[in-house]
Structure 1
Amino acid sequence: MLWTRPLTMLQLLALLLASELVRTGFFVAALPLLGPGLGLGPAVIGGMVGAHYLFDALGKGPMGLVSERWGLGRVLALGALLGLLTVLGTRLWPSAWWGVLGCALWGLAFGTLWPGLMSVSQALARPGRTARALAVSNLSVAPAILGGVLLVGPLVQGSSRAGWALLLGAQGLALLLALGLWSLRLPAPARPEPHPPAAPAASRLRLPGEWRRVAVLLPAAFAQTLAPGLLVTLFYPLLSHLGLGLRDLAVPGALAAAAFALSLGLLGRLADQSHPRRALTPGLLLLAAVFALVAVSDGPEVRARLLLVAPLLGVGYGAFMAGWNGLVARTLPEQHRAAAWGTVMAVESLGYSAGPLLGGAAWQLGAQAGVFGLGATVFLLTELYYLWPGRGLVRRAGEA
């Protein structure tokens, strides 16, 4: 087991899965498909979706501080309640003005969930397993997002009542799980040793230094989510361009998943026992190489090389996830862990949101070569950033 209190972590992960299933299903499927029938036009729906994700991104840092003061469990319960009211209100009393406001407030409170989960996962991780615990926490949401897209969409198309029932039931479950965590607070950091009388000045300088280490992570946090974000809106156009169907991805997808799991296990152990850079560096280089290989290949070549590219992608991404999460865990200030996680994840969200814009522009300029060439460049520049400007400061943080 990766955590010292597995039941607490399992409850938090279940809350995350239920919450993300509802959020993805509501914004990706229910609103676009059922909103017009409720009198909500495209502009209103766009405003609701945009307000939610904007306030989610902007609220991660500030809401991390709020959760440190009020208690994580209470803020999680507030977010689950706002989600239930927003979904129920949209179903029963659709309105443009309060729909946008409700989605914004839901996003603001939802911004606590991810930083809180990662903070607790880091604090409860067993010694020597932090990088793996964080990587598992980070990736656990994938089934919920897929369910929101692939389950809720067809369900609401077949029966709107069944779709709304699923969303409301899952959000009600999320509220019950959050109420069960009502008394949860972020584990208190270890108290520092007493200082001599001259220590107050040094103490005042320590916190800014810790936050400077967080600032070192932010450019790379933006860049490395920007790269996969390039492909968000281009998945089906790329398949059409390459002459591929979803069935053609079944075997390569299974190979990529197996390689990812193996890489995460082996290199996650290396990141925990040695230093995260030993997993992060080869991971970024391998991702850059895979993107570059696809960029310089034409359609038939990519189709023939899928069985080679897929496992390399899985190994590279597994190494990257283990190294990145381990590096962030070693760098964040212990006294304000939730707020620091929120800051890093907010910048990651901004990078992911900018990816589709740049990906669309690269597609118009160079189609497959433009998109994957830009992705390879982003990964390579991120690698150079870790190896040069931020290397000394992050190394000292990791050794602290």
Structure 2
Amino acid sequence: MLWKNPALMLRLLALLILSEAAHFGFFITALPLRAESLSLNAALIGTLTGGHYLADALSKGPMGYLAGRWGAGLLLALASLAGLLVLGTVTVGHLPYLALFALAAVWGVLYGSLWPVVMGYSQLLAEPGRTSRALALTSLAVAPGLALGVGVLGPLMQRQPQQGLDLLLGLQGLALLLSLTLLRLKPAPQTGNRAASLGELRRQWSGVALLLPAALAQTLAPGLLVTLVFPLLAQFGLGMMDLAWPALGLLVGLGLTLWLAGRLADRTSPRRALLPGLLVLALSYGLLALPHPEDRLWLALPLLGMGYGAFLTGWNGLVGQVLPQGQRMTGWGAIMTVEALGYAAGPVLGGLMWTHYGHSGVFATGAAVFVTTLVYYLWAAGQAQPTRSTVYSESARP
């Protein structure tokens, strides 16, 4: 097992999956499909969604700090309760737009605690020598939530809207019930018996500061494709079923590399997985930037999976090494805020490249971002001496 307290970690992962399923299901599926009954147009929905996601992104650092300082259980329960209030309000309808916007923003602020808490406890509870694999697996827990919230809920709401809303409320209700079992979740153990001096704090956080530009760049590249998947398929004359075998190759490459690179990262150094991962990602994007990329999907997508498998283990392992001891939830929150900004900027840049240069501009930009990130790591990674993790006691159990 990857964690010392699997019962606690599995509850946290289940909460993350349920919460993300309801989250994606509401903003990507239910809200657009319920727009007419709520008297909302596309602009109002976009403003509501954008305000929520901005609140979520900007609150990750502060929420991680509060979770690490005072305990995570209450924050997780409040986030689940806020989500249930928003979903219940939309189901009933007839709430003024400004009130709905305020509720969604409050949900976003509280929701910002979820990922820093789960990643912080994943690192805290990871078995010695398995931290990179534990963190990489945790970061992939968003995938089942996305599949459930969009892939299952979307078609259901198109055919039977009321049943779709009932399922959405049920998912969020289960998340709330599960969060109540975590109310006694204690703050992460702090190291040392005295307050850190200003110089110590500067040294502790210098490594995190070096990671921030790379965190922005490496989420910017996949963010380029957020709004372009279907336009790209249309240009190449492909349907979703045409991606079945290449996508299977991507999943196989991701799974195998995730485990093998994770062992390498845990036994040697995370950078030995991270740097080759970035290079393979740049290569896969470069192949797709060439003319007629549909002829090379069988090669590019498995390479993409291999690149992301190596990158995820290396990146999470490196962050886990660098974050200050006793302040890891705050650190995860800060890193994730910058990552969220990269995802936000990606669609804007991707749209500009698509408009002016077509698919070649989009994928060439992504390849350039990965190469730039690789060069940055080669220059900057050695500047910070990672803070080595201490093996915490199992007193973190609720």
TM-score, structure 2 normalization = 0.95
**Alignment correspondent of 2:21:** 21
Distance 1:239 1:122 in 2: 38
**Alignment correspondent of 1:107:** 108
Give the residue type in structure 2 aligned to 1:188.
P
Give the residue type in structure 2 aligned to 1:280.
L
Q: Is 1:229 matched up with 2:219?
A: no
* Partner SS for 1:38: coil
Query: Residue 393 of structure 1: which of 383, 386, 398 is its match?
Result: 383
RMSD: 1.5
TM-score, structure 1 normalization = 0.94
Q: Is this contact kept in 1: 2:286–2:367, CA < 8 A? A: yes
Q: Which runs of 5+ in 1 are unaligned?
A: 195-199
- Per the TM alignment, residue 331 of structure 1 is displaced from its structure 2 partner at its CA by 0.4
Distance 2:29 2:96 in 1: 18
* Partner SS for 2:2: coil
Distance 1:126 1:116 in 2: 18
Distance 2:90 2:40 in 1: 9
Q: Is this contact kept in 1: 2:270–2:314, CA < 8 A? A: yes
Distance 2:135 2:188 in 1: 16
Distance 1:391 1:44 in 2: 43
Q: Is this contact kept in 1: 2:13–2:138, CA < 8 A? A: yes
Q: Is this contact kept in 2: 1:275–1:398, CA < 8 A? A: no
Q: Is this contact kept in 2: 1:119–1:186, CA < 8 A? A: no
Give the residue type in structure 1 aligned to 2:110.
A
Distance 2:357 2:41 in 1: 34
**Alignment correspondent of 1:188:** 189
Query: Residue 350 of structure 1: which of 341, 360, 363 is its match?
Result: 341
* Partner SS for 1:335: coil
Query: Residue 310 of structure 2: which of 313, 316, 319 is its match?
Result: 319
Q: Is this contact kept in 2: 1:44–1:100, CA < 8 A? A: no
Q: Which runs of 5+ in 2 are unaligned?
A: 390-398
Distance 2:120 2:81 in 1: 22
Query: Residue 247 of structure 1: which of 241, 244, 255 is its match?
Result: 241
- Per the TM alignment, residue 399 of structure 1 is displaced from its structure 2 partner at its CA by 6.0
**Alignment correspondent of 2:375:** 384
**Alignment correspondent of 1:120:** 121
Distance 1:203 1:169 in 2: 48
**Alignment correspondent of 1:2:** 2
Give the residue type in structure 1 aligned to 2:187.
L
Structure 1 runs of 4+ off > 3 angstroms?
189-192
Q: Is this contact kept in 2: 1:40–1:95, CA < 8 A? A: no
**Alignment correspondent of 1:57:** 57
Q: Is this contact kept in 1: 2:285–2:364, CA < 8 A? A: yes
- Per the TM alignment, residue 71 of structure 1 is displaced from its structure 2 partner at its CA by 1.2
Give the residue type in structure 1 aligned to 2:356.
L
Deviation track 1:327-360 (CA, whole Å, cap 9, x = no partner) reads 0000001121111100000100000111000000
Q: Is this contact kept in 1: 2:210–2:381, CA < 8 A? A: no
- Per the TM alignment, residue 151 of structure 1 is displaced from its structure 2 partner at its CA by 1.6
Deviation track 1:258-310 (CA, whole Å, cap 9, x = no partner) reads 111110111111111111110001000111111112112x22xx223222222
Deviation track 1:99-120 (CA, whole Å, cap 9, x = no partner) reads 1000000010000000000000
**Alignment correspondent of 1:370:** 361
Deviation track 1:46-88 (CA, whole Å, cap 9, x = no partner) reads 2221111000000000111121233101100000000001110
Q: Is this contact kept in 2: 1:327–1:398, CA < 8 A? A: no
Distance 2:252 2:46 in 1: 37
Give the residue type in structure 2 aligned to 1:343.
A
Distance 1:323 1:361 in 2: 31
Deviation track 1:229-260 (CA, whole Å, cap 9, x = no partner) reads 00010001111111211111111111110111
**Alignment correspondent of 1:263:** 257
Distance 2:272 2:362 in 1: 28
- Per the TM alignment, residue 398 of structure 1 is displaced from its structure 2 partner at its CA by 5.6
Distance 2:45 2:232 in 1: 27
**Alignment correspondent of 1:167:** 168
* Partner SS for 2:326: helix
Query: Residue 217 of structure 1: which of 207, 211, 217 is its match?
Result: 211
**Alignment correspondent of 1:306:** 297
Distance 1:358 1:386 in 2: 23
**Alignment correspondent of 2:287:** 293
**Alignment correspondent of 1:197:** none
Give the residue type in structure 2 aligned to 1:376.
A
Give the residue type in structure 1 aligned to 2:340.
S
* Partner SS for 1:52: helix
Distance 2:89 2:377 in 1: 46
**Alignment correspondent of 2:158:** 157
Give the residue type in structure 1 aligned to 2:252.
A
Q: 1:105 to 1:91 in 2, by over 3 A?
A: same
- Per the TM alignment, residue 95 of structure 1 is displaced from its structure 2 partner at its CA by 2.3
Q: 1:116 to 1:329 in 2, by over 3 A?
A: same
Q: Is 1:129 matched up with 2:134?
A: no
* Partner SS for 1:3: coil
Once the two structures are aligned, what percentage of the paired residues are identical?
51
Give the residue type in structure 2 aligned to 1:132.
R
Distance 1:293 1:46 in 2: 34
Q: Is this contact kept in 2: 1:120–1:186, CA < 8 A? A: no
Aligned length: 388
Distance 2:43 2:198 in 1: 48
